[in-house]
Amino acid sequence: MDQLEEINDERDHEWDSPTGYYTRAKRRKLSEKYQDKEDFFCKGLFRVSELKRKNPIMFMPTEILQNILRRISYHQLSTNVRLVNRRFRTIAEDLLNLGFKKLESKLYLLIKSTDISLGFTQDDMEIKCISKLLCQLEILNLQYATIMSTIWRYVYNEFYRAPHYCMYGGLIIDTHETFIWKFVHCPDQLYSQAVVRDYDLPSEVSDIVQMTKSFCVHFDKTNEETSAHVHVWSGCKLVDILDTAKFADRIVYFEKLSADRFFAKYSYYFKNSWFVAMPIPLTKTMDWPQKQRMMHMRLRRIVLAHNDMYLQEEQYQRETALRPNAPMAIKKPGNNVYTGYGDIETKFFYYGVMNDGAYNQKFHPDEENDDLDEGDINEFVVQNRGDIELVPINSDDDVLYRLQYLGFKVDVTVSCPPQYAPLKYLRSLPSNEKNVLINKLIRKDNTHIHMNFECLGAHYARLPTKYLYIFDSKKIGEEK
């Protein structure tokens, strides 16, 4: 079985910034000015009335301009139209924000209709083709959720005032629209490659996956980190990123909403994953906005890798259930491992994810598991989920000592104003309560997030098993 490992360094460079969106904050001012105005007007080259005359297009109603600019690609809106003048920038940004927001409903409708069509299909090859299309839609849906968790507080926020930016990743929207058009008019161009070679993706899906990673990192670095009050505006963004982990076990202990505060406690468990923070000598200093951005990037990388690996396994199990009498054996996902690392001041972070195939190959070789009965394996699975903390005896007779295990748990405690609550909670509110929060004045703007990372498997490598990350908008932050 193939084994693929991806190793990522946290050091980001400018050449990693994606294409497809304009990175400059505002248009460049004209540097050339007339030195001798008297000589200029004396020559009679232009009349004063001609200099003051505006372009006729500027007198068009906004609705007509919007209809005209809708025929332009989102990439052109982002890179060219936004730079013309202030009015064109406002219209282009509205079209970009609206275009990306509409993708959510479009993907939802396509997933729902495709899932329904699978129930009325009996031909084996047709089931395989539709199943591949559904897999691609699910991948795009997870990428969309990742981008939304990154930008929504600065683009689509209605609950409190924050620096306003736009979804300037026009090429990402264009690629989504190209995929949707092919899905509706010529779906064979999308599933043909995946039918021939399992788990291969069309170019549109692969490009969106890569652009999502680059765009989120770039947005955090260029827009969020440069904000004067990023520790206030970001709210519960850390929880938003964790909530996009579809295959992590999420436990909600409580969510309470009082008059001026929101309190909640969550627990997330990532299967076959690890997160270790090791102490190192101080090499370089960082300001808090940069450390906050690195934590966002670190969590996003873990979530994306975890979603990618276990989405493949879920899709494999679904296809085997839909095609029990397939003429050819359905190929299992390859053994994939993702690893990331990086250092921040006195901490060196090492984290990663592996799928079930890679885990079994590394920790459960057949020749070493012959002497284990079913009871031992079931006991191991319970301990692997991190529900019970057990100190190993460190002897050859101890099953947990001989069978290494992976998985880390994150316990999150949140205290913040209701408007700064996680996006998943705000979306679950009834419309009347949501309108109350939108129109309500924020009295206390401090946000407190307590995150406790616990990776029991690090004990066998003699590494720290716990890491404490505290985010407080007043005290800026702590790490232990």
- Residue 59 carries which side chain, given as an amino acid letter? F
Cα separation, 416 vs 237, whole angstroms: 12
Among 297, 279, 278, 290, which residue's Cα sits nearest to residue 212?
297
Judged by DSSP in three states, 159 sits in coil
Tell me the pLDDT of the chain (480 aa) as tens digits.
456 677 777 775 444 444 555 444 444 444 444 445 445 444 454 454 555 566 777 778 888 888 888 899 999 999 999 988 888 899 999 999 999 999 999 999 999 999 999 888 888 888 889 999 999 999 999 999 999 999 999 999 999 888 889 999 999 999 999 999 999 999 988 888 888 788 889 999 999 999 999 999 999 999 998 888 888 888 899 999 999 999 999 999 999 988 889 999 999 999 999 999 999 888 778 888 888 899 999 999 999 999 999 999 998 898 888 888 888 888 888 889 999 998 888 899 999 999 888 888 887 666 444 443 333 333 333 333 333 344 444 444 444 444 457 899 999 999 999 999 999 999 999 999 899 888 887 776 788 999 999 998 888 888 899 999 998 877 665 555
Judged by DSSP in three states, 462 sits in coil
Among 205, 186, 184, which residue's Cα sits nearest to residue 194?
205
Cα separation, 279 vs 291, whole angstroms: 16
E strands along 249-371, which residues?
A: 249-257, 262-271, 273-279, 335-344, 347-354
Cα separation, 123 vs 207, whole angstroms: 31
Tokens of residue 35, six digits: 């030195």
Judged by DSSP in three states, 178 sits in helix
E strands along 347-406, which residues?
A: 347-354
DSSP label of 387: S
Exposure string for 171-186, b = 16+ CB within 10 A, e = fewer: bbbbbbbbbbeebeee
